[in-house]
């Protein structure tokens, strides 16, 4: 009997979709959902719990308050050893109450997540019979945009120009002046979706920012709209993002879809889900402003509608780089975000995502992402070979 396991938040849509895929592909299989909360609080011995020769999926730990609180506690010591930024004490963590959308010490949460990944790695090291769909090492890499940007840049893949070494909003203003940069993205490097980002412009001696971060006194929340900040409030926002470990990149003008009567339409980018070395799903996201995420008002665009506006050679070049990006990580599937540059000047890769396969309503030959991933993984030998060299889907003991 085939055995599957998933480390996930049991009541999440992600866990449900994976369970549905397993039931459809292998009705007689067993499936064990291991709660992230148990991993984060050290309440489970994974090496003992995982079934013999199980296939393991590690899914997102996000959108669960108790898991976030457990990760805050797990990451406290590591964050306390770092300079600057927000630090929440164990006493204050215990007092936290769920406040939907609130942003609490994102760097500390991430450090706790890394500790949890280390626990998973230790368990897998003594269980070489377990095959993992995405290795913890790949998740660690993919969750730091500063790391992946450098990996891709060194491999010759086009990425946005970074302004490295920026520590404060004053530093940022000076660097933008020195390099003649008018607009940049500032985003916490370990954040997901459009959380903790700002589009920052310099206007003479002023900084102006549009951000998904909404400030309410001393508290901050993720907003479903872009909020404008200027002068001192903009500086404080940028200082907060930089203090949590941000990547700063020059804004790239994205290509636009055709509008009505020959006028330019909205700009757009693409999520390319690469599965086992193939660009299996492509979803376009269009918006009138630079941030195209669907929950911020962006609209989904079908792959065929985008392809109809792009030269085939240019399309194939972008898909080739998406596949190359995925090959640098020990992962069955990687969600790659890229865009064609405005006025026909190639493409650029923004980032890649370990959990980028949560794409509602898309299918290929009747299969959604999770079912296609299961079939692709079943076809793989115990080791995979990619552009970065030989790698194994089973961690070395």
Query: What is the distance between the alpha carbons of residues 303 and 284, in angstroms, rounded to a whole number?
Result: 6
**CA dihedral (312, 313, 316, 318) positive or negative:** negative
Q: Which fold has domain 253-392?
A: D-amino Acid Aminotransferase; Chain A, domain 1 (3.30.470)
pTM of the model: 0.93
Q: Which structure tokens are listed for 111?
A: 């450090």
Instruction: List Cβ neighbours of 198 (8 Å cut-off, separation of 6 or more).
Output: 185, 186, 187, 209, 210, 211, 212, 213, 229, 237, 238, 241
Mean of the per-residue pLDDT values of the chain: 92
- 157 and 169 in contact (C-beta within 8 Å)? no
Nearest to 188 by CA among 128, 250, 231, 145: 145
Residue where the block lists tokens 């979803």: 283
DSSP single-letter state for residue 137 = H
Write the pLDDT tens digit of every residue in 174-204. 999 999 999 999 999 999 888 999 999 998 8
Q: Where are the domains of the chain?
A: 3-132, 169-250, 253-392
Query: What is the distance between the alpha carbons of residues 322 and 153, in angstroms, rounded to a whole number?
Result: 13
Residues of the chain with pLDDT under 50: 383-397
Residue where the block lists tokens 């929340």: 221
Q: Which structure tokens are listed for 164?
A: 């490295």
DSSP single-letter state for residue 280 = E
């Amino acid at each position: 009997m085939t055995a599957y396991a998933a480390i996930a938040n049991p009541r999440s849509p992600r866990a449900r979709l994976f369970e549905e895929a397993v039931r459809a592909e292998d009705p007689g299989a067993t499936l064990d959902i291991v709660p992230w909360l148990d991993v984060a609080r050290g309440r489970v011995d994974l090496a003992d719990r995982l079934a013999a020769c199980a296939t393991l999926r590690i899914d997102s730990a996000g959108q669960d308050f108790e898991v976030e609180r457990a990760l805050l506690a797990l990451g406290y010591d590591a964050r306390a050893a770092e300079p600057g930024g927000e630090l929440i004490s164990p006493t204050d963590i215990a007092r936290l109450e769920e406040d939907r959308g609130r942003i609490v010490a994102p760097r500390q949460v991430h450090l706790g997540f890394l500790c949890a990944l280390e626990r998973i790695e230790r368990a897998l090291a003594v269980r070489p019979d377990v095959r993992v769909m995405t290795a913890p090492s790949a998740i660690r890499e993919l969750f730091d945009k500063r790391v992946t940007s450098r990996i891709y840049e060194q491999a010759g893949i086009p990425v946005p120009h970074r302004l490295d070494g920026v520590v404060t909003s004053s530093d940022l203003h000076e660097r933008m002046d020195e390099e003649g940069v008018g607009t940049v993205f500032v985003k916490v490097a370990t954040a997901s979706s459009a959380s903790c980002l700002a589009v920052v412009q310099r206007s003479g001696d002023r900084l102006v920012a549009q951000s998904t971060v909404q400030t309410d006194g001393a508290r901050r929340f993720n907003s479903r709209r872009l909020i404008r900040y200027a002068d001192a409030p903009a500086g404080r926002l940028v200082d907060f993002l930089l203090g949590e470990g941000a990547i700063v990149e020059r804004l790239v003008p994205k290509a636009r879809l055709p509008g009505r009567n020959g006028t330019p339409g909205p700009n757009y980018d693409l999520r390319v889900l690469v599965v086992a070395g193939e660009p299996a799903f492509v979803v376009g996201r269009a918006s009138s402003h630079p941030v195209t995420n669907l929950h911020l008002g962006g609209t989904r665009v079908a792959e065929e509608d985008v392809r109809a506006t792009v030269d085939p050679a240019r399309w194939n070049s972008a898909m080739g780089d998406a596949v190359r990006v995925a090959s640098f990580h020990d992962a069955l599937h990687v969600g790659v975000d890229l865009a064609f540059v405005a006025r026909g000047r190639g493409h650029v890769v923004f980032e890649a995502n370990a959990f980028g396969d949560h794409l509602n309503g898309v299918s290929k030959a009747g299969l959604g992402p999770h079912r296609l991933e299961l079939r692709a993984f079943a076809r793989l030998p115990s080791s995979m070979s990619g552009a970065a060299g030989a790698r194994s889907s089973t961690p070395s003991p």
